[in-house]
Amino acid sequence: MAPKEEASSAANETPKKMATLQLQQQQQQQQQQQAKTHIPTCNYSKRVVLKTLLSREDRGVGLVGERIVIGGWVKSSKEVRKQPPLPQPDTLPQPGPKTGEKDVTCTEILQNRMPIFRTFLKLFGVGNHAEKDSLGGLAHRVQHPVFSTVFLQISDGSCISSLQVVVESTLAPPGQILLNGTCILVEGIIQPPSTGGKHSIEVKAEKVLHLGVVEDHEKYPLSKKRLPLHTLRDWAHFRPRTTTIASITRIRHALTQATHNFFQNNGFLYVQVPVITTTDSEGFNNKFNVTTLLNKTKSEEEPTKGSSRNEVISGVSLASIKASLKEKSHQVEELKRTDSNREALLAAIQDLKKTNELASQLEAKEKKEKAKTTSAMVKPDRLDFTDDFFSCQAFLTVSGRLHLESYACALGNVYSFGPRFKAQTSHSTRHVSEMWMAEAEMAFSELEEAMSCATDLLKHLCKWVLENCTEDMKFVLKRVDQSIVGRLQSVVSTNFEKIPYCKAIDILKQVREKKFELNVEWGVPLTEEHESYLADEIYKKPVIIYDYPKEVKPFYVRQNDDGKTVAAFDVIVPKVGAVIRGSQNEERVKVLRTRIKELGLSSEQYEWYLDLRRNGTAKHAGFSLTFDLIVLLATGISDIRDVIPFPRSYGKISN
Amino acid sequence: MAPKEEASSAANETPKKMATLQLQQQQQQQQQQQAKTHIPTCNYSKRVVLKTLLSREDRGVGLVGERIVIGGWVKSSKEVRKQPPLPQPDTLPQPGPKTGEKDVTCTEILQNRMPIFRTFLKLFGVGNHAEKDSLGGLAHRVQHPVFSTVFLQISDGSCISSLQVVVESTLAPPGQILLNGTCILVEGIIQPPSTGGKHSIEVKAEKVLHLGVVEDHEKYPLSKKRLPLHTLRDWAHFRPRTTTIASITRIRHALTQATHNFFQNNGFLYVQVPVITTTDSEGFNNKFNVTTLLNKTKSEEEPTKGSSRNEVISGVSLASIKASLKEKSHQVEELKRTDSNREALLAAIQDLKKTNELASQLEAKEKKEKAKTTSAMVKPDRLDFTDDFFSCQAFLTVSGRLHLESYACALGNVYSFGPRFKAQTSHSTRHVSEMWMAEAEMAFSELEEAMSCATDLLKHLCKWVLENCTEDMKFVLKRVDQSIVGRLQSVVSTNFEKIPYCKAIDILKQVREKKFELNVEWGVPLTEEHESYLADEIYKKPVIIYDYPKEVKPFYVRQNDDGKTVAAFDVIVPKVGAVIRGSQNEERVKVLRTRIKELGLSSEQYEWYLDLRRNGTAKHAGFSLTFDLIVLLATGISDIRDVIPFPRSYGKISN
């Protein structure tokens, strides 16, 4: 539209100027044409992702005049009341200044106008506003006599920025769309912002394609602005709608990419190690049992309730068929009672018969299946793992490194990336029961090389976030941690301090200004307190500590020649702690066997692991990186439960 | 070396020829120089990965004369005896024809010569050959009086091809290195192959840097050649050393890359959904319980054995400290008894005291910790989940789609890739208890779009394997499935057949030449038998079936307007079956609530899920791709347990 106006005003100018103008006009049109062909819709939806508009260099300005579909959730809103205009349901939107605008926040409007709304709704017989949730109820309210324009800031999670969407009250009832959290999908035209401010463009809605209202404003937790992170934890299913958790999720996503990217660039093969295992990989007692003994007991108690499904029959539920059977019987009874239509009755009876047949078939199949499992059913007073699903006690894996070794001792360098589990009852801001770890194992590598690989990985991850998450890091810098970028840059550029355990002990012993909870002495394990003192106070940069006393490290770590220390290392990062723990593992079968005996570990479970040493053993080293801690490191968030989508910890699980 | 020889032989030629030769020589030297700077070692090891040599266009020929370190496992070998030469332990290897070569296989040699070996070993007092596993024992055998050259085919898992390594018996005892599965790391010189055949180069060993022998040839399963896959399953920790499983692992790795690549290219965010959950996402009864009730009971029984570790103290084990304490006490006693050295005794006593102190500290900490967990301890005769770790019954997740929806209804398109669990007791070649799934969820998308996304993903994965796994696919084609490439190409290029469930039923009803186990009738779930008949026999290409009766699909699938069917779909691929199952999910809270009630599911667990519908609900669709089945599809392997690193199924778990 703009070029046309320019052209007409140019009509009185000299021919030369006109030619120039025409050229400019053509160029502009070309550019616009180009732009028009450059709004890719989200590949598997009609909508355009907001990032596509707002992350352009021109912040979408070149797309003015385009018709698009966009969808998202309301982050904030305001309503501007106006004099009732003539109804104009089908005309195109009229950009330009509006009359009677009032710049009030959503909350103010709601507080002030809720009674008025309620009165209107009652007058129109719509009933309790909070109970309406389908588009079916909208027709009434379209005739709402007070006309207004609603300005919504909507976000679709693709970027930090939100888009202003202008919706006239003739299209959707303001009382519904004004509420934070409302989902809206609209078709509209991109236009220059009508309200000024920071916006580069806005979308003037012409059709509301979908509306997902907030049923009860009071109960919806995100109605309140800026809830603290610890409160949001109770609403894990809603919190990705907040800017902070959305940013963390995108950064977490980028870090996942970076992790795979690092290993793949360095020739590591990805191996999916098992979650269910019988191997105690760290002599760690607090493991989760994986069992079917408990639910068997339960299903015995209530045999009719279980909706056991047979896998051969893809995705079918006997309970579901039975429910349908019941429903159909009712239908037949109803038809018999009313005697309304003989044909319909016959059809219904036929249908009922078929369903009945199906139910019998399924039931027979399930009985057969159940007969098989009977041997696994156990009364709780005679717990015997030979009756359990795997015929022995099985656990959730604590670490995948032992299984990875099996692949390293065949394929060279391998890595794994998956969930690991510890049933620890302590409350910590650094650990939960289920955490993701990236683990690497390298054949023909020794301690030094594992340390250097761990260092490179850590630097790679920090660099990746700085380079690929610019917008989100700006937000984190502003709202979470003002020193975050500097800290990440320092991890990328400084040489990590590398000290043996004995030196760490010597240094900590000399500390006078602090009394540690656990006394420092050669042989003690380093606590979080010790570790953070070294990284945060003394070196002020990442520290690698290596050659630990054998007593403080797992049985599989390679014994050094001194007979006292083992080739383990930890990478400690300021403010976050030990993000990587690694080691060269024992390749000598005799030493390994002695160590297992010394620790009183049940050697039977390690026979397969010892097998790897007995047959073609190789020197090898590796490490585990606690991925969730890396997200802490990258975001400056202080509690790990805020960077994990659905955190699980002692007594805490809600979905 | 080669260029120098050419130069000297050229000395008698004409000056012109000499100039040409000099030029050639220079060029060759330059090329060689270039080549010399182009053998990248494996990034975190001194060795060169075999792929680096053998995947070059010249198959390594340009690297002749280079000194390198390579490591791997012996796949096959032969020994060639020769007349005892003068001892030449430190001279460079002499390429050229060998005298007295005999082309015999390893097995022949072992069968024929084992008695001779044993006699020699006894003569030299080395003892039982099978018990020697360290390099320490080699010195004797280096003086073995029968000299021979050993030709080893070694593989390091980086590619299909193996490398010929030539080891003189003066460097390592043939009796040890000849055995399949032996691990060897050597420094040597690349030279043209001395035995001819298919090899482009070989490495003449100069130093054996590491030797990992096979302790007992009889017990090592891979000593036998070409074990069938089902036998290899009992040796999950060794089988990646076979060419087939190594190939599958590399293809699996490529497919993982391809999965992430697809979603990331299409703007999906990666979300790590939880493995431990309280939500029954499919009304599936056979779930694994996750509990600490069982091991608490066990640790109560044997309180002294458990090596419970406190997480605040990083990686330390009280049991380990106690073991060390015992050892040190013994030392002190021993020193007291022998009364040999007063100073040593004092030092030992001091050391013992310190360890004792540490043990007390740790014990105190652990007691504190235990006091906390006491409430969670339960006798098996009063199972009560309020006493369990999470204060309620928790399961291993069957599907992550419900949790993904929470993120989709905030961030748009999201995906997940992780392990999922079903405790099914049926034995199937298509399902095990722990499987990896890639799951996608898309806000503002409907059934049609989910089907198109699923189709694109499947085509992308097949295309990726064809383009990126050329060498491995050649092997698979030759040794596993001769039609594999054609099948994958057809998935990439054909349009999938798309039929509603009712049409599938009509077609199957007309089948006369086959009697299905479950009768075909509207309302029955499709079994594997039905599905494969449609894909393999009728359409002979991938088939998408959609609009299933609501009874055969989970509660969350969106109900169609007919009230009978739901917006679910399955993608069936010939020979493999349903690799993707997807649906548009119910966004209407009332319909969803009714469905949960109809099926008699406990609604309490779904409150958080219903919450998503009550507040800003959006239309959305998604699917689950069973990743392990895709590996079957890509490799032509018929049993899923052969493509999963450590498969777990009913009664089967060994590590």
Tens-place pLDDT, residues A143-189: 446 789 999 999 999 999 999 999 999 999 998 899 999 999 999 99
* B410/A134 CB distance under 8 A: no
Tell me the mean pLDDT in the region B332-351.
Answer: 71
3-state secondary structure A506-575: HHHHCCCCCCCCCCCCCCCCCEHHHHHHHHHHHHCCCEEEEEEEHHHCCCCECECCCCCEEEEEEEEECC
CA–CA gap between residue B582 and residue B381 (Å, rounded): 42
Residue of B nearest to A261 (CA): B257
* A282/B315 CB distance under 8 A: yes
pLDDT tens sequence across A294-337: 864 444 433 333 333 333 343 455 666 666 777 777 777 777 76
pLDDT value for B386: 84
* A407/B645 CB distance under 8 A: yes
> Which residues on chain A are in Cβ contact (under 8 Å) with B522?
354
Residue of B nearest to A50 (CA): B412
Q: SS3 of A55, please?
A: coil
Read off the CATH number of the domain in which A460 is found.
Answer: 3.30.930.10
CA–CA gap between residue B112 and residue B116 (Å, rounded): 8
A 141-200 near B (Cβ less than 8 A): 156-158, 181-183, 185
Put simply, whether A597 touches B (Cβ < 8 Å) is: no
Q: SS3 of B123, please?
A: helix
A407 shares its domain with A371 = no
Q: SS3 of B186, please?
A: strand
Does the residue B446 lie in any domain? yes
> Which residues on chain B are in Cβ contact (under 8 Å) with A644?
272
Q: Could you give phi then psi for residue B252, rounded to 5 degrees?
A: -60, -40
* A587/B616 CB distance under 8 A: no
Residues with Cβ within 8 Å of residue B544, at least 6 apart in sequence: B451, B454, B455, B496, B497, B498, B499, B569, B570, B571, B572
* B237/A521 CB distance under 8 A: no
> Which residues on chain B are in Cβ contact (under 8 Å) with A587?
212
B346 shares its domain with B411 = no
Does the residue B22 lie in any domain? no
Tell me the mean pLDDT in the region B611-616.
Answer: 94
> Which residues on chain A are in Cβ contact (under 8 Å) with B616?
73-74, 181-183, 212-214, 241
Higher pLDDT, B292 or B131: B292
By the 8 A CB rule, do A290 and B268 touch?
no
Helix (H) or strand (E) holding A438: strand A434-443
Helix (H) or strand (E) holding B330: helix B318-338
- pLDDT confidence bin for B317, thresholds 50/70/90: low
Helix (H) or strand (E) holding A631: helix A627-635
pLDDT tens sequence across B526-580: 999 999 999 999 999 999 999 999 999 999 999 999 999 999 999 999 999 999 9
B 91-110 near A (Cβ less than 8 A): none
pLDDT at B89 exceeding the cut of 60? no
Put simply, whether A619 touches B (Cβ < 8 Å) is: yes
pLDDT at B358 exceeding the cut of 50? yes
pLDDT at B86 exceeding the cut of 60? no
Q: SS3 of A468, please?
A: helix
Residue of A nearest to B518 (CA): A361
3-state secondary structure A88-142: CCCCCCCCCCCCCCCCCCHHHHHHHHHHHHHHHHHHCCCCCHHHCCCHHHHHHHH
> Which residues on chain B are in Cβ contact (under 8 Å) with A236?
406
Beta-strand pair B413-421/B434-443: antiparallel
Burial class (CB in 10 A: 0-12, 13-18, 19+), A623: buried
Q: How many domains does chain B have?
A: 3
> Which residues on chain A are in Cβ contact (under 8 Å) with B324?
523, 550-551
* A412/B267 CB distance under 8 A: no
B327 shares its domain with B249 = no
Put simply, whether B610 touches A (Cβ < 8 Å) is: no
Residues of chain A under the 50 pLDDT cut:
1-13, 34-35, 89-144, 296-315, 371-382
pLDDT tens sequence across B464-484: 999 999 999 999 999 999 999
What residues pair up with B437 in beta bridges, in sequence order? B418, B626
Does the residue B93 lie in any domain? no
Put simply, whether A346 touches B (Cβ < 8 Å) is: no
- Final residue belonging to a domain, choices A382, A411, A428: A382
What residues pair up with A69 in beta bridges, in sequence order? A187
Burial class (CB in 10 A: 0-12, 13-18, 19+), A136: exposed
> Which residues on chain A are in Cβ contact (under 8 Å) with B376?
425
Read off the CATH number of the domain in which B48 is found.
Answer: 2.40.50.140
* B283/A396 CB distance under 8 A: no
Burial class (CB in 10 A: 0-12, 13-18, 19+), B490: middle
B342 shares its domain with B438 = no
**Domain membership of residue B355 as a residue range:** 320-382
What beta strand segments (E) does B354-447 contain?
Answer: 394-396, 413-421, 434-443
pLDDT value for B323: 66
Residues with Cβ within 8 Å of residue A407, at least 6 apart in sequence: A269, A271, A414, A441, B240, B249, B645
CA–CA gap between residue A73 and residue A393 (Å, rounded): 47
Q: Which amino acid is at A426?
A: S
CA–CA gap between residue B205 and residue B190 (Å, rounded): 9
- pLDDT confidence bin for B91, thresholds 50/70/90: very low
Put simply, whether B525 touches A (Cβ < 8 Å) is: yes
pLDDT value for B384: 76
DSSP letter assigned to residue B538:
I
> Which residues on chain A are in Cβ contact (under 8 Å) with B445?
44-45
* A286/B269 CB distance under 8 A: no
Put simply, whether A319 touches B (Cβ < 8 Å) is: yes
Put simply, whether B282 touches A (Cβ < 8 Å) is: yes
Put simply, whether A131 touches B (Cβ < 8 Å) is: no
- pLDDT confidence bin for B179, thresholds 50/70/90: very high
* A551/B282 CB distance under 8 A: no
**How many beta-carbon pairs below 8 A join chains A and B?**
566
- Final residue belonging to a domain, choices A332, A356, A382: A382
CA–CA gap between residue B253 and residue B240 (Å, rounded): 13
> Which residues on chain B are in Cβ contact (under 8 Å) with A410?
73, 157, 238, 240-241, 246
Put simply, whether B450 touches A (Cβ < 8 Å) is: yes
A355 shares its domain with A283 = no
> Which residues on chain A are in Cβ contact (under 8 Å) with B409?
73, 183, 241
Does the residue A296 lie in any domain? no
By the 8 A CB rule, do B292 and A651 touch?
no
B 560-579 near A (Cβ less than 8 A): 568, 570, 578
Put simply, whether A392 touches B (Cβ < 8 Å) is: yes
B424 shares its domain with B283 = yes
Higher pLDDT, B229 or A125: B229
A512 shares its domain with A585 = yes
> Which residues on chain B are in Cβ contact (under 8 Å) with A358?
521, 523-524
> Which residues on chain B are in Cβ contact (under 8 Å) with A255?
none
Between A176-185, B134-143, B165-174, the lowest mean confidence (pLDDT) is in B134-143
Q: Which amino acid is at A56?
A: R
> Which residues on chain B are in Cβ contact (under 8 Å) with A422?
311
Put simply, whether A612 touches B (Cβ < 8 Å) is: yes
Shortest distance, CA B204 to any CA of chain A (angstroms): 19
By the 8 A CB rule, do B306 and B320 touch?
no
Alpha helix (H) ranges present in B83-164?
A: 106-123, 138-142
By the 8 A CB rule, do A404 and A270 touch?
no
A358 shares its domain with A378 = yes
**Given strand A620-626, what is the order of strands in its sheet?**
A269-270, A413-421, A434-443, A620-626, A577-585, A565-573, A543-549, A497-500
- Final residue belonging to a domain, choices B189, B223, B257: B223
CA–CA gap between residue B554 and residue A320 (Å, rounded): 9
Residue of B nearest to A564 (CA): B324
> Which residues on chain A are in Cβ contact (under 8 Å) with B290?
288-290, 396
CA–CA gap between residue A580 and residue B544 (Å, rounded): 45
Residue of A nearest to B599 (CA): A320
Q: SS3 of A493, please?
A: helix
By the 8 A CB rule, do A315 and A362 touch?
no
> Which residues on chain B are in Cβ contact (under 8 Å) with A427?
none
* A156/B608 CB distance under 8 A: no
- Measured at the CA of A342, the angle between CA A337 and CA A343, to 5 degrees, comes to 135
B354 shares its domain with B490 = no
**Given strand B577-585, what is the order of strands in its sheet?**
B269-270, B413-421, B434-443, B620-626, B577-585, B565-573, B543-549, B497-500
Residues with Cβ within 8 Å of residue A111, at least 6 apart in sequence: none
Put simply, whether A455 touches B (Cβ < 8 Å) is: no
Shortest distance, CA B205 to any CA of chain A (angstroms): 17
What residues pair up with B578 in beta bridges, in sequence order? B572
pLDDT value for A302: 38
In this prediction, the answer to ipTM > 0.90 reads no
- Chain-centroid distance of CA B367 in Å reads 40
pLDDT value for B380: 42
Supply the mean pLDDT for chain B.
81
Neighbours of B520 (CB within 10 A): 18
B377 shares its domain with B428 = no
B215 shares its domain with B150 = yes
B423 shares its domain with B346 = no
Of the candidates A316, A450, A521, the beta carbon closest to that of B358 is on: A521
- Residue A213, sorted as left (phi over 0), alpha (psi -120 to 50) or beta, turns out to be beta
Does the residue B282 lie in any domain? yes
pLDDT at B315 exceeding the cut of 90? no
Indicate which of A68, A235, A243, A320 best probes the interface with B, i.e. most B CBs within 10 Å of its own CB: A320
* B240/A311 CB distance under 8 A: no
* A403/B276 CB distance under 8 A: no
Shortest distance, CA A119 to any CA of chain B (angstroms): 24
What is this structure's pTM? 0.80
Does the residue B402 lie in any domain? yes
Of the candidates B361, B380, B518, the beta carbon closest to that of A313 is on: B518
> What are the C-alpha distances in Å from B593 to residues A361, B586, B606?
28, 10, 9
